[in-house]
Chains A and B, each alone.
Chain A
């Protein structure tokens, strides 16, 4: 009886959580008029893009049994790289590719160090957290990098210059979520990511090239973080080396709220996306309620603990 309830909670938890926060914010008089509107949801979705794209990469890493703490710094680094390239006169497409690849490069360094030095991901990425942040400040000469107008700036506006109903960033995130979900569930690469996270010893025993696989996972996730950096750049319209401090914690929280296990082998893209939405709805709703930011921080902190407790219930079921 208790076990069934826990199981249901673990399965439907993220969905229910999202529903609950939406309903809660729809009731009070302060928010009733604006909260459940098309325009507000457009804002929420746009605000979710950066964390959501980060969560795509993070889901892969966490499912593989790893962690990446350097995401916030990677986003800052890649957005500064983007700003500098645009300043130098690069077109939007080459600049975009360069930004994504610079994120991939940080991921490659992370993956190669983790697999090559056989150190735990926590330590390596704690190191690159500092290195990438410092490099971003160095590149930006310790200040924000400004540039004249670029088409990239319009990828995250809610004013809808293209008539796509939602800004391009949201569509990109949606398409990538579907693609990544299929990648994890239905491809050899994806199943090997789960195998690695579920039991690395078994993966090795079964002849899976675990070293190469780890490097590939971190490098691919790094590309996602680079893309998140691109949208960060588009949103701020400048390269800010001090942006996104601690954002990796929001991203990790999204993945965990979405039902992934920090011990690896468990997690879904759909769950992580809902997790990211829950965080964004909480922020948006709290702002509309006029709550001070410290109150928002407390609420989000508590939500993370509840989510991890659900993860714990699921783990307990295993024995």
Chain B
């Protein structure tokens, strides 16, 4: 794609924060109508680069050009006017305002402060039509739309200023496979209209599918770039990590033993209609399905975070007591929330407090806590899981996503749990941490623990699990050994496009 005038060209961009050199020389070139994957581990400098590009930070050194002309944005608003729009990973919508008001936010058609309703309507409608979603009801509050539709609203907002370059940061991290497909269609459509897209994602398979070219960042520098077609993922991973990652999903020897958890046609309003499953010691059980299919609800119901309306959850070898999360911990279950920041961790509290929260009372006598012992225990896990931190008394919010996740998992290990319920354990974390967590899950199974894992990322489930169950519309429709599944077969069951071929109780 050698064109004379690149849509965007960055040369030797450098940026430091105090002593930290976040960007040490990044170069990047994107042709008009090109989808360009920006790849790198967490901390490689992707976010800083995008902030420089979208005007939130100013580069210390280096040249930026758009369409051959120098580009130096004075701020995010100026960047938008000059043709660079950014869509952040976390959606930025005012949920109580209507979809239309959200699309037009900050760019309302108005005269003397009075909003020109017909013109507004038209512009918002044109933007969603450009994305192929002309049928969205723009009068509804943004909060009533699905996550995927909310994302469309965000993209529509970005399109109002007719950008030449659109930056998408982890756009699929909260989308289901089906919604991801729709997003890809939207991206293709924009590409055909000549919009250049910078696509940032941890999912390399996705990047390979959607992107024309890629650039890999490591430690604030461009370490490689090229055409996506024909590039090997192993090569890209090696560039990212600077080391060879041979097998992301290690197969640790483990054999399934006795049944330790039995779920009998459990239901919980409003989403979970019915699910039965058995998990054995030493087994890794995967739960697949679209978002909203009830996977998280099933795990939360097993852990008594949601009420059991019908059916039964039996933890083998543990007395049946009143089901509360506290009782579940006592029975040897452990739950990892899909939402680290909102539910999983106490961000303002220390690593030690976060790891030991389920068993504070064991760290001393008469309600008194021995802080030194608590920190020693935490330090053990910090070393064991190679958590990058100052020490065990550091507050969680200062750690990177991958390290935060390791702390969240350490809580289950320390408790110690024998049945691990893991909801999206690798979401939004870097490849290095992912590989470590896969390794850890394998070791847990080898040590005879039972693991139930939810993931929207099918290669992960198929690479890791012994058994995979697929949920659809609140029901667990099919459970089969991994060897009997393929990605497309899982999707067929998850989208309800086939009658399940096997009996769920088998």
Binding site for B on A (CB under 8 A): 1, 3, 186-192, 194-195, 198-199, 201-209, 261, 265-266, 318
Contacts and interface: CB of A to CB of B under 8 A. Distances in A.
B346 A198 contact: yes
Interface in B1-46: 18
B358 A191 contact: no
B368 A207 contact: no
Contacts of B329: 206-207
Contacts of B347: 198-199, 265, 318
A206 B411 contact: yes
Interface in B308-359: 324-330, 335, 337, 342-349, 353-354, 357-358
Nearest to A202: B346
A190 B346 CA distance: 15
Main secondary structure of the interface of A (DSSP, over half): helix
A1 B360 CA distance: 37
Contact of B346 (A1, A189, A265): A265
Interface in B340-387: 342-349, 353-354, 357-358, 360-361, 364, 367-369, 371
B263 interface: no
Contacts of B210: none
Given A205-B344, A207-B325, A318 B397 contact: yes
Given A209-B326, A265-B349, A202 B343 contact: yes
A192 B357 CA distance: 8
Contact of B368 (A186, A206, A261, A318): A186
B337 A205 contact: yes
A188 B348 contact: no
Contacts of B18: 1, 3
A103 to B, nearest CB: 23
Contacts of A199: 342-343, 345-347
B361 A195 contact: no
Nearest to B371: A186
A265 B347 CA distance: 9
A204 B337 CA distance: 12
A188 B343 contact: no
Contacts of A205: 305, 325, 335, 337, 343-344
A188 B359 CA distance: 9
15 contacts: A3-B18, A191-B353, A194-B349, A199-B342, A202-B345, A202-B346, A205-B305, A205-B335, A205-B337, A205-B344, A206-B411, A207-B330, A207-B358, A209-B326, A261-B348
A188 B357 contact: no
B169 to A, nearest CB: 15
A48 B397 CA distance: 35
B337 A194 contact: no
B467 to A, nearest CB: 26
Given A1-B18, A265-B349, A201 B343 contact: yes
Nearest to B340: A202
Given A188-B360, A205-B337, A207-B358, A195 B328 contact: no
Contact of B348 (A191, A198, A209): A198
B323 to A, nearest CB: 12
Interface of B: 18, 305, 324-330, 335, 337, 342-349, 353-354, 357-358, 360-361, 364, 367-369, 371, 397, 411
A65 to B, nearest CB: 11
B369 A195 contact: no
A204 B346 contact: no
B305 A265 contact: no
B51 to A, nearest CB: 13
Contacts of B367: 187-189
A204 B324 CA distance: 9
A204 B305 CA distance: 8
Contacts of A202: 337, 343-346, 354, 357
Main secondary structure of the interface of B (DSSP, over half): helix
Contacts of A191: 353, 357, 360, 369
B399 to A, nearest CB: 12
B336 to A, nearest CB: 9
Contact of B358 (A187, A190, A198, A206): A206
B360 A198 contact: no
Of B328, B344, B358, B360, most buried by chain A (CB within 10 Å of CB) is B360
A194 B325 CA distance: 19
A201 B342 CA distance: 7
A206 B357 contact: yes
B473 to A, nearest CB: 26
A58 to B, nearest CB: 18
Nearest to B304: A207
Contact of A186 (B335, B348, B369): B369
A127 to B, nearest CB: 26
Contacts of B327: 207
Of B326, B346, B353, most buried by chain A (CB within 10 Å of CB) is B346
A211 to B, nearest CB: 11
A195 B368 contact: no
B463 to A, nearest CB: 28
Contacts of A192: 360
Contacts of A261: 348
A24 to B, nearest CB: 33
Given A194-B353, A318-B347, 16 more contacts: A186-B368, A186-B369, A188-B368, A194-B348, A194-B349, A198-B349, A201-B343, A202-B354, A202-B357, A204-B305, A205-B337, A206-B329, A206-B357, A207-B330, A261-B348, A318-B397
B30 to A, nearest CB: 29
B357 A203 contact: yes
A191 B347 CA distance: 14
Contacts of B364: 188
B98 to A, nearest CB: 26
Contacts of A201: 337, 342-343
Contacts of A186: 368-369, 371
A182 to B, nearest CB: 9
A187 B353 CA distance: 12
A188 B368 CA distance: 6
A101 to B, nearest CB: 22
A178 to B, nearest CB: 15
B357 A208 contact: yes
A213 to B, nearest CB: 12
Nearest to B339: A201
B324 A207 contact: yes
Of B325, B328, B357, B397, most buried by chain A (CB within 10 Å of CB) is B357
A129 B296 CA distance: 41
A198 B371 CA distance: 19
A187 B368 contact: yes
Contacts of B397: 318
Nearest to B345: A202
A208 B337 CA distance: 16
Contacts of B354: 202
Nearest to A265: B348
Contacts of A203: 346, 357
B190 to A, nearest CB: 30
Given A203-B357, A206-B325, A206-B329, A195 B343 contact: no
